[in-house]
């Protein structure tokens, strides 16, 4: 009889198998759990702003609000801050000198226009709508309202309201007082009745003629 010779595979130590299993397992986890970074947002096209930067130059009273219903009250509070105004000056490169979040010194920022009539104020090297920008919600020459685009900064600082201060020496604007109603005229007194004429004296009665 011909005996077939069996070839035995060399045994692999258990600890090597365990190490290989752990290695493949970790590799699978890394492939499965690896966070996929979202693509960067499209860069907005930079357009000329709706107003020239020099229109922002001036002294402002500054206040902030977190709730929209507090907007009008915040504007009134900002006027009272003109005693210690926030001053915006013009930069050397065509921008304006303002503070970035948590920065102790002002930086020259650029006023950037964007599609849809939007305007932003932020670093010149960043496109409109970047993380350090503030969106211009309102600017009419007197009131400037800015909203931080960084949600964390917006949560701490709130929406910023700048109210232009009146010229030096001018009186602060006061709310108009309600118009007073004219006082009611007193009711006319009834005309006095004319005094009654005294009754005429009775005519003397002629005595009867006495016959003699």
pLDDT in tens, 77-106: 999 999 999 999 999 999 999 999 999 999
Rounded to whole angstroms, the Cα distance separating 111 from 122 reads 7
Distance from C-alpha of 133 to C-alpha of 130, rounded to nearest angstrom: 5
130 vs 92: CA distance, rounded Å: 22
Structure tokens at 5: 């010779």
Predicted confidence band at 199 (pLDDT cuts at 50, 70, 90)? Answer: low
Percent of the residues in the chain that have a pLDDT greater than 90, as a whole number = 57
Reported as a single tens digit per residue, the pLDDT across 166-178 is 987 666 655 444 4
Structure confidence at residue 211 (pLDDT) = 41
What's the CA gap between 53 and 72, in Å, rounded?
25
- What three-state secondary structure class fits 204? coil
Radius of gyration of the chain from its Cα atoms, rounded to whole angstroms? 46
- Which is nearest to 133 in space by CA: 63, 51, 46, 71? 46
Residue 128 tokens, joined: 């409109």
The per-residue pLDDT for range 17-68, each reduced to its tens digit, is: 444 444 444 444 444 455 555 655 655 688 999 999 999 999 999 999 999 9
**pTM for the full model?**
0.62
Q: Using CA atoms, how far apart are residues 57 and 87, in angstroms rounded to an integer?
A: 8
């Amino acid at each position: 009889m011909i005996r077939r010779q069996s070839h035995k595979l060399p045994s692999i130590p258990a600890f090597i198998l365990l190490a290989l299993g752990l290695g493949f397992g970790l590799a699978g986890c890394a492939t499965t759990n690896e966070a996929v970074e979202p693509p960067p947002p499209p860069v907005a096209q930079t357009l000329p702003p709706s107003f020239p930067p020099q229109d922002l130059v001036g002294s402002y009273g500054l206040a902030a609000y977190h709730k929209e219903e507090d907007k009008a009250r915040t504007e009134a509070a900002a006027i009272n801050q003109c005693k210690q105004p926030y001053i915006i000056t013009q930069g050397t490169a065509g921008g304006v000198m303002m503070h970035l979040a948590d920065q102790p010194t002002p930086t020259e920022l650029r006023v950037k226009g964007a599609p849809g009539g939007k305007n932003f104020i932020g670093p010149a090297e960043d496109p409109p709508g970047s993380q350090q920008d503030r969106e211009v919600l309102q600017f009419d020459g007197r009131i400037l309202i800015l909203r931080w685009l960084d949600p964390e900064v917006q949560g701490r600082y709130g929406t910023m309201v700048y109210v232009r201060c009146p010229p030096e020496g001018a009186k602060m604007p006061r709310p108009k007082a309600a118009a007073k109603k004219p006082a009611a005229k007193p009711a006319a007194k009834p005309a006095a009745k004319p005094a009654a004429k005294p009754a005429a004296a009775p005519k003397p009665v002629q005595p009867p003629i006495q016959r003699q």
